[in-house]
Amino acid sequence: MLNLNRKSMLNDLAARRFDLLVVGGGITGAGVAREASLRGLQVALVEQFDFAYGTSSRSTKLIHGGLRYLKQFDFKLVREAVEERQRLIQMAPHLVKVTPFVFPVYRGDSDSLLKLRVGLFIYDWFARMRAAVPHKMLSPGALLELEPGLRDDGLLGGAVYTDCRTDDGRLSLVVLQSAAGHGAVVANYAGVQSFFRGAGGRLEGAVVRDTLTGDLLEVRAARILAAAGPWADEIRRLDDPEASPVLRLTKGVHLAVPRERLPLGNAVVIRGRDQRIMFAVPLVEYSYIGTTDTDFSGRPSQVRGERDDVDYILDATNHAFPESRLTLADVTSLWVGLRPLLRPVGDASPSATTRDYALFQSQSGLVNVGGGKLSAFRAMASHIVDVLFPNTRSAANLTASASPLPGADGPLPGQAEWQRLAAQTGATTQQVEKWCARYGSALKQVVQYLPAKPDPDPALTWHRAMTLHAVQHEMAQRLEDVLSRRTDLLLFTDDNGRHYLQALAREMGSALGWSNDRLREEVAGCEKAIDQRKYL
Ligand code: FAD
């Protein structure tokens, strides 16, 4: 059973010398750590906050080729992402869910029906015609049958095609678990605060701060990769204060509303008032909508959603679904991510800036990743390890790289299992499936933490078990880790998990030895965050 034990990981980090130190525990760092470990390299990974705290838990949560990048003739990018999507459906069927998407076309839209037809043909072609359901062009009537809430005024027709939805934070976590399963030493709340050098100025390691205790440790490695997403320029400056910026940060906001307020049957492509493409995606009892794309110039940790962002999304949704009449009062949650895009040459608009990635090597040997997509993380990681450690690629590790991720390495629970667990805990089958499907075959680990006597509130029974599991197996260290990245409480429940904060903090506190003060601090921190939507 996989168990991410932070204390022993920190001891290992200080005691060993590694081939590779990865800075950043988002999907990029996780992917590289996994890929390098599969090739037999000694790998360390440190993350300054929680795993996937950055962009990797704040995306649109799609595993997709990015249909709209075809317009920018980014065929290589789209092809790779579509191929990776097909692979990830096999590697993580518990987390990568095939979803139908409806794409309506209206009079005056910047994309014609013909363009859409050509684009979708190429899209399905890249999937070698193995898309779960090949695209189909639809008349206005057929489109409205699929999505009756859509505006019919000016509707020319459209298409239905397939892409995938995921839980981005959890996908990053299972990739890290896989890396650790192959020997990588990984720790969260461990931030690089400086580098140290050998003779000739070449980096030999990093001073890492345990941000929970303030302790410092030195991690030694032959190569250092910064996979710091939006923080890449900050890391470059740690290495060289004169380093010029390589990123253009753009802010992307999403919001979730109760599904009954936006009753979608499919994911739907909608447009902002400036014709930008966005998605409205159904997710069990909620529908979420996003994203915006505007330049951001502050410090990455301070990014916040603004009223203008919310208005932009609500306007677009109400325009696409006129009967919905959504207002701010309907918003259950919102989340904000920063795209670590490559700085464009010239003055391209944020949406026209490439989603491809690049590596930047400094004189001292630091390698920095800029750009990238969640969907193609595995292919990107494989290329990065090729560059860092030439000649380590073999047919065997290419096969291993596409092997199932934790949770897909055993039979997935089915209806009979949901029913049995529902009866055991007083929940409905749908509830158990909603809370637990994300664990896949690792569900049996969670079940071990169910109390002998369930609470009268089945949601509390299950969230207690998930919390203990998160502490013991997924390195959750703070209440906010459980609230926002190990469960759906923050983003996809009516009260953002407020009701359960005390109970779950007590559960975590007893497992992690928290004082009463620490416990109060954790609860107060989460309450404030919910109020200010600070983490969102
Ligand atoms: P991050 O996830 O930000 O990880 C970097 C990590 O480095 C952070 O956790 C940070 O805390 C850590 N770090 C920084 N400095 C230090 C330090 N000094 N020491 C230790 N750790 C440090 N892609 C898709 O494929 N599908 C989508 O639907 C999609 N939607 C998106 C929507 C939005 C709004 C945005 C912003 C992006 C979207 N993307 C999508 C792109 C995708 O989410 C990102 O490319 C990807 O998550 C970036 O991952 P990363 O690991 O590079 O960065």
Across 302-316, average pLDDT: 94
What SS3 class is residue 89? helix
> How far is it, in rounded angstroms, from Cα 190 to Cα 193?
9
Confidence of residue 350 (pLDDT cuts 50, 70, 90): low
> How far is it, in rounded angstroms, from Cα 365 to Cα 197?
10
Give pLDDT, residue 348.
Answer: 56
Residue 421 CA, distance from chain mean position? 28
pLDDT at residue 149 is higher than 60: yes
How close are the terminal C-alpha atoms of the chain, in Å? Answer: 32
Higher-confidence residue of 522 and 135: namely 522
Confidence of residue 351 (pLDDT cuts 50, 70, 90): low
Give pLDDT, residue 355.
Answer: 55
Ligand 1 centre from 320 Cα, in Å?
Answer: 29
In this structure, the number of other CB atoms found within 10 A of the CB of residue 10 comes to 21
**CB of 91 sitting under 6 A from ligand 1:** no
Nearest-atom number in ligand 1 for the CA of 234 is 15
- Beta strand pairing call for 43-46 and 17-23: parallel
Ligand 1 centre from 373 Cα, in Å?
Answer: 8
Across 278-307, average pLDDT: 94
**Phi and psi angles of residue 214, each rounded to the nearest 5 degrees, phi first:** 85, -5
Give pLDDT, residue 349.
Answer: 57
The answer to whether the beta carbons of residues 102 and 446 sit under 8 Å apart is: no
Best residue for ligand 1 mutational test, from 373, 380, 384, 475 (most atoms within 8 Å of Cβ): 373
**CB of 292 sitting under 6 A from ligand 1:** no
> How far is it, in rounded angstroms, from Cα 164 to Cα 62?
6
Ligand 1 centre from 467 Cα, in Å?
Answer: 24
Give pLDDT, residue 535.
Answer: 43
Confidence of residue 230 (pLDDT cuts 50, 70, 90): very high
Give pLDDT, residue 397.
Answer: 87
**CB of 434 sitting under 6 A from ligand 1:** no
- Which of 131-140, 251-260, 264-273, 309-318 has the lowest average pLDDT? 131-140
pLDDT at residue 154 is higher than 80: yes
Exposed/middle/buried for 258, CB within 10 Å: 0-12, 13-18, 19+?
middle
- Which of 92-96, 269-273, 396-400, 481-485 has the lowest average pLDDT? 396-400
HEC profile of 39-72: CCCCEEEECCCCCCCCHHHCCCCEECCCHHHHHH
Query: What mean pLDDT is reported for the chain?
Result: 93
Give pLDDT, residue 312.
Answer: 97
Query: Which pTM was predicted?
Result: 0.96
pLDDT at residue 139 is higher than 60: yes
Ligand 1 centre from 78 Cα, in Å?
Answer: 19
Give pLDDT, residue 534.
Answer: 45
**CB of 166 sitting under 6 A from ligand 1:** no
Ligand 1 centre from 122 Cα, in Å?
Answer: 28
The percentage of residues in the chain with a pLDDT greater than 70, rounded to a whole number, is 95
Across 77-82, average pLDDT: 88
The answer to whether the beta carbons of residues 47 and 277 sit under 8 Å apart is: no
pLDDT at residue 77 is higher than 90: no
Q: Give all strands (DSSP E) within 212-320, no chain letters.
A: 216-226, 247-258, 267-271, 277-283, 286-290, 294-295
Give the list of residues 6+ apart from residue 113 with CB closer than 8 angstroms, or none.
Answer: 105, 137, 156, 157, 158
pLDDT in tens, 103-132: 999 999 988 999 999 889 888 888 775 666
User: Side-chain half-sphere of 236: how many Cα atoms within 13 Å?
Assistant: 20
**CB of 27 sitting under 6 A from ligand 1:** yes
> How far is it, in rounded angstroms, from Cα 84 to Cα 91?
10
**Angle value at C-alpha 503, between 499 and 505, nearest 5 degrees:** 105
Residue whose CA lies nearest to ligand 1 atom number 51: 26
Give pLDDT, residue 359.
Answer: 92
**Phi and psi angles of residue 477, each rounded to the nearest 5 degrees, phi first:** -120, -25
**Phi and psi angles of residue 89, each rounded to the nearest 5 degrees, phi first:** -60, -35
Containing 368, the helix (H) or strand (E) segment is strand 366-371
Confidence of residue 357 (pLDDT cuts 50, 70, 90): confident
Give the list of residues 6+ apart from residue 312 with CB closer than 8 angstroms, or none.
Answer: 272, 273, 292
The answer to whether the beta carbons of residues 95 and 407 sit under 8 Å apart is: yes
Q: Give all strands (DSSP E) within 140-189, no chain letters.
A: 155-165, 185-187
Residue 192: both structure tokens together? 């690089």
Ligand 1 centre from 275 Cα, in Å?
Answer: 26
> How far is it, in rounded angstroms, from Cα 472 to Cα 450?
14
Confidence of residue 6 (pLDDT cuts 50, 70, 90): very high
Give pLDDT, residue 352.
Answer: 53
> How far is it, in rounded angstroms, from Cα 25 to Cα 190?
10
Confidence of residue 344 (pLDDT cuts 50, 70, 90): low
Residue 49: both structure tokens together? 């906050």
Strand partners, 20: 43, 223
Confidence of residue 449 (pLDDT cuts 50, 70, 90): very high
Ligand 1 centre from 437 Cα, in Å?
Answer: 24
Give pLDDT, residue 536.
Answer: 43
Give the list of residues 6+ apart from residue 96 with CB closer than 8 angstroms, or none.
Answer: 63, 85, 88, 89, 164, 165, 166, 171
CA torsion sign for 472, 478, 483, 485 is negative
Q: What is the DSSP string of 382-449?
A: HHHHHHHSTT---HHHHHHHTSPPTTSSSPPP-HHHHHHHHHHHT--HHHHHHHHGGGGGGHHHHHTT
Residue 201: both structure tokens together? 């100025």
Give the list of residues 6+ apart from residue 203 with CB closer than 8 angstroms, or none.
Answer: 195, 196, 197, 224, 239, 364, 365, 366
Best residue for ligand 1 mutational test, from 22, 28, 55, 96 (most atoms within 8 Å of Cβ): 55
pLDDT in tens, 53-68: 999 999 999 999 877 7
> How far is it, in rounded angstroms, from Cα 416 to Cα 418?
6
**CB of 375 sitting under 6 A from ligand 1:** yes
**CB of 351 sitting under 6 A from ligand 1:** no
Closest CA to 64 of 51, 78, 53: 78
pLDDT in tens, 525-535: 999 888 876 44
